[in-house]
Amino acid sequence: MDEKDSIISSSSSTTTGTTSSAIIDPMAGLNGIKNYTFKNWAGIFSCKPQLFFQPSNIDEVTKIILNAYKEGKTFTVIGSGHSPSDLCCANPNGWLVNLDKLNRVLDFKVYDGGNYADITVEAGLRVYKLNEILGAKGYTIQNLGSISEQSVAGITATGTHGSSAFHGLVSSQYVNLTIINGKGELIYLDSETNQDVFRAALLSLGKIGVIVKATIRAIPKYKIKSTQEVIHFETLLEKWDDIWTSSEFIRCWWYPYTRKCVLWRGNKTTEQVHEVTRKSWWGTKFGRIFYECLLWISVKIYPGITPFVESFVFNRQYGAVETFGNGDVAIQDSIDGLNMDCLFSQFVDEWGCPLLNGPEVLRSLDHSIQQAASNKEFYVHVPIEVRCSNTTLPPHQLDYSHRTSTSKGAVYGNILRPYLDATPRDLQYAEHVTNNQLTLYINATIYRPFGANTPIHKWFTLFEHTMGAAGGKPHWAKNFLGDVSMLPKGVKPKEKYLDYEMRGMASEIIKWYGEDLIKWQQIRKQQDPNGVFLANKDWCIRNGILEI
Ligand SMILES: Cc1cc2nc3c(=O)[nH]c(=O)nc-3n(C[C@H](O)[C@H](O)[C@H](O)COP(=O)(O)OP(=O)(O)OC[C@H]3O[C@@H](n4cnc5c(N)ncnc54)[C@H](O)[C@@H]3O)c2cc1C
C-alpha cells in the first residue's frame, strides 16, 4: 500500500498514525481501534483517542455518529492530517474518525460542450487520487495549494487556497456537499438546497457535519508555461502594482537574508510539456540532508549562523544572479506546476490581508527581521511565501460557453462566501481583475530539522501583530499563536505554555467575523445539538468559535 493512501496500516507506524490492537467496540458495534496514536503531518501534535474508526461506507459513518449522539461521546473527523495545528486532535475520551476508505468516484458529467465537468466523489478521497482520476478523463482540478496529499473534505474544511489573482479558495470549486450531521441525518447541500448550511459547511473546521460526498467542478486538463525569476526584494516592491495580475498563477518566495525573492509566474498554454534546467539542489539526496543538517546546527548549536545557512542554500538552489525579465521557462502539467516541494516538517503561520497593504507589511517585516538578527533576538527560516487569491465573487454564475483551453479564471462551482472565509470581507468583485480585489497571503515557515523544535514564539508574535494591524486574519489550519489576553472571559489560561503552543485568538476572531460567526454558530448548534463533533472543544473555545 502506498504510504500516502491511508493514515493507518494494520500493525505498525505510518505517516500519521500508529496502532496496536483492533477490537470490536460493543457500544458502537463497529470496528473501533484502541491504542491508536494520531500524529499530524508535521509530527508536532499527536493524540490518543479512546477509539479510532475508519468507516468504509455512509451507513457506518451514520452508525458512529448515532452511537456518539446516544452515548454523549464526541469525535473529530480527520482527512490526511495535514493541518499544521492541533485542530485535528481529539480528547482522550473522544474518538477519531478517518474517511480514507470512503474514496470512490460516484459520478462524472461533462457540461457546456466539454468546457467543464462535475465529478462526484466520496469525501475521503485524496486530492492526488482525484487528480489522477480526472486526468484520465481529460480534466483537472482548476487550482490547488502547494500539495495534493489532502482529502477532498479536508481541503475545503479549512479554507485551503492556491496562488492566483483569478481564483479564490478551493471551496469555490465545490458544487455540492453531502454531510451527515450530528443527529445522524444525511443532508444534501448546494447553492439552492440548504444554502445557509452549505455556506457553513464549505469551511466547517469539521464542526457542522461529516462530509461524505462532494461534487467538484473541473476544467479540461491544461499545462502551465511558467517563468521563474530571481529578483531583488526592492524590485518586488517597486513592481507591486503590476506583478500580481500579470499571470494567471503567481507566487513569490521571499529570502530576507539575501534580500532576494524568487518570482514564479505561469499561464495556461497549448505548447508541449518541456521541463527546463530548473534543477533543484535541495531536491537531491545530498542537498536535502546537507540543508537539514545545517538547519539542525543552526537550531541546536549556533542560531547566529542562520542567515549564512539561508544565503548559502539560496545560492546553491537559485544562483546569485538576478534574472528579472529573463527567468527560466518550463512547461508542465498543471498539477506539477502548482504543487511544490515543501521540504521538512515545519511550523507555519499564514495570514491573509488586503493585497494593497502588501508593500507596507513587507517593509515592516523586513525591518523587524533584519533588526532581530542584528540583536540576536530571533532568526527566521525561508522562504517566506508571498501569495494571493481573489475571493470576491460575481453576483451570478458567469457564461462559460466562450472559454478556450487557455482561458483564465474560475468556472465557479458555487458563488457563495463561506461564513468563516478568512480573507478580507470588503473587497468587491469586478469583471476586470485589479489589485483592489485581491487578498495577500504571507506564510511564515519555520522548519523543525530532524524533528527539532525551533523557537517560534517571538517571531510569530511579531508577525501576527504586523498582519493583524494590516487588516489580516490567520488561516484556520495553521500554527497561529494568539495570546492569553485574547481568551474568552472566564477561561483560565494555562500556567505554562510551550513555546509553540497556540494560546488562542477568541476575542479577535469574534470581532473579525461578527454576524457571520454568529450565523455559523447557530447553524452548528442546529446541526450538532449534542456537540458530537467537539472532541477538540478546547481548540474551539480558545479561538472563540463556540459560545461558552
Ligand atoms: C506541506 C503542506 C502544504 C500546505 N499547503 C497549503 C496551501 O498551499 N494552501 C493552503 O491553504 N493550505 C495548505 N496547507 C494546509 C492544508 O491544505 C489544510 O490544512 C487542509 O485542511 C488539510 O487537509 P486534510 O485532508 O489533511 O485535513 P485534516 O488536516 O485532516 O483536517 C482539516 C480539517 O478538516 C476537517 N475534516 C476532515 N475531513 C472531514 C470530513 N470528512 N468532514 C468534515 N470535516 C472534515 C477536520 O475536522 C479538520 O477540521 C498545507 C499543509 C501542509 C502540511
Overall average pLDDT of the 267-280 stretch: 84
Measured CA to CA, the distance from residue 393 to residue 412 in angstroms comes to 9
In 3D space, the residue among 294, 339, 311, 321 whose CA is nearest the CA of residue 447 turns out to be: 294
Q: How far apart are the first and last CA of the chain?
A: 44
Q: How many CB atoms lie within 10 A of CB 341?
A: 10
Place of cell 500493525: 11
Residues pairing with 442 in the sheet: 351, 386
In 3D space, the residue among 239, 316, 360, 106 whose CA is nearest the CA of residue 308 turns out to be: 316
Phi, psi of 48 (to 5 degrees): -125, 95
- Please state whether the peptide bond connecting residue 220 to the residue before it is cis, i.e. omega within 30 degrees of 0: no
- pLDDT for 31 equals 78
Ligand 1 centroid, distance to 305 Cα (angstroms): 33
**Side chain identity at 102, as an amino acid letter?**
L
DSSP string, 71-88: HT--EEEESSS--SSGGG
Residue nearest ligand 1's atom 45 by CA? 206
The interaxial angle of helices 195-202 and 506-527, nearest 10 deg, is 130
Q: Is the CB of 218 under 6 A from ligand 1?
A: no
CA angle centred on 141, ends 330 and 340, rounded to 5°: 45
In 3D space, the residue among 132, 133, 145 whose CA is nearest the CA of residue 171 turns out to be: 145
Q: Is the CB of 342 under 6 A from ligand 1?
A: yes
CA angle centred on 155, ends 433 and 447, rounded to 5°: 95
Ligand 1 centroid, distance to 223 Cα (angstroms): 25
Q: Which three three-digit cell numbers place residue 209?
A: 457535519
For all residues of the chain together, what is the average pLDDT? 93
pLDDT of 278 above 80:
no
Q: How many CB atoms lie within 10 A of CB 294?
A: 18
**Residue 207 vs residues 176, 181, 194, 213, 480: alpha-carbon distances, Å:** 17, 9, 17, 16, 19
Ligand 1 centroid, distance to 228 Cα (angstroms): 28
Measured CA to CA, the distance from residue 316 to residue 284 in angstroms comes to 12
Q: Is the CB of 99 under 6 A from ligand 1?
A: yes
- pLDDT for 548 equals 66
- Under the banding of pLDDT at 50, 70 and 90, the label for residue 11 is very low
- pLDDT for 394 equals 97
Q: Is the CB of 161 under 6 A from ligand 1?
A: yes
Ligand 1 centroid, distance to 313 Cα (angstroms): 29
Measured CA to CA, the distance from residue 25 to residue 214 in angstroms comes to 30
| Residues sharing a CB contact under 8 Å with residue 197, sequence separation 6 or more, in sequence order | 179, 187, 189, 208, 523, 527
260-269 β-sheet, strand order:
328-333, 223-232, 260-269, 249-255, 384-389, 439-447, 346-354, 473-474
pLDDT of 479 above 90:
yes
Mutate to test the pocket of ligand 1, among 150, 216, 347, 387 (most ligand atoms within 8 A of CB): 150
Assessment of whether the complete model's pTM goes beyond 0.85:
yes
Ligand 1 centroid, distance to 537 Cα (angstroms): 18
Q: Is the CB of 150 under 6 A from ligand 1?
A: yes
pLDDT digits over 107-157, tens only?
999 999 999 999 999 999 999 999 999 999 999 999 999 999 999 999 999
Atom of ligand 1 nearest to the CA of 156: 21
- Under the banding of pLDDT at 50, 70 and 90, the label for residue 429 is very high
Atom of ligand 1 nearest to the CA of 159: 11
Atom of ligand 1 nearest to the CA of 84: 53
Atom of ligand 1 nearest to the CA of 209: 43
Q: Is the CB of 348 under 6 A from ligand 1?
A: no
Atom of ligand 1 nearest to the CA of 102: 41
